[in-house]
A and B are shown apart, each in its own frame.
Chain A
Amino acid sequence: MTQTSDVLEDTPILRFAAGLPGFAGTHRFALIEAFGCESPFALLRSVEDPDLAFVVTHSAPFFPNYSIDLDDAEVERLGLVTSDDAIVLLIVTLGSTLEDSTANLLGPIVVNRTTCEAMQVVLSDPGRDAKTPLLAA
């Protein structure tokens, strides 16, 4: 089931069974972390549309207190057994400076690190903004 024709052999391919809102028909993204060890950012590059990419980051460098609760249906869909199975990525909108850049805390991407199944979840708790300044914490 490995399909790594146009990307590096060891680049994980995340599978979004339900796609991403706004991008119907894109289900597979390569997670490319090769921006140097110091970069907090990685790239999600669409397999179906090579011109489509999202910059993502882990929450820890910018939002150390960020945590999410998944409901049972989401846990089941992703096949998560323990919370350690999950990786949380935040979609970033880059500005010309870090101060101008924002992260989507409302709709994080949750990945099952074992199976690479992924989905964008929506958090229902208040105060989660889709455009939170990266340096807000």
Chain B
Amino acid sequence: MLVVTRRSEQSTVIGDDIVVTVLEIRGDSVRLGIQAPGEVGVYREEVYVELERANRDSATSPAAAVVQLAALKERRDRRGARPRRASTGAQAPRAQA
């Protein structure tokens, strides 16, 4: 890892178009300003890791997605147009067997 010592308001340049500036140092936290082109994603690491995991968990294939969506729809259709919250005390019509 390259280690660079910077003071407040000093910057580090990465490549041609990324600039990391130390904006403020307060106690054990540092505020950084990051200038980067649109094709460079800038995330806090822990959030990036969480997004990565969430995206991997959500990833599917078009064929699998179509099958899953069809199965969900079929389930819903089978249950009929029952309201989502039927706890109003009103008599809900029974689905025909």
Using a CB–CB distance below 8 Å, which chain A residues touch chain B? Answer: 17-23, 35-36, 39, 41, 43, 45, 50-55, 77, 91-94, 96-98, 101, 104, 106-107, 119-120, 122, 130-131, 135
Contact = CB atoms under 8 A, between A and B. Distances in A.
A52 B50 CA distance: 19
A21 B62 contact: no
A119 B43 CA distance: 12
Residue among A22, A43, A45 facing the most chain B CB atoms (10 A cut-off): A22
Contacts, number: 96
B73 to A, nearest CB: 7
Chain A interface, >50% SS class:
loop
A77 B39 CA distance: 9
B51 A98 contact: no
A34 to B, nearest CB: 10
A2 to B, nearest CB: 21
Contact of B39 (A18, A22, A50, A53): A18
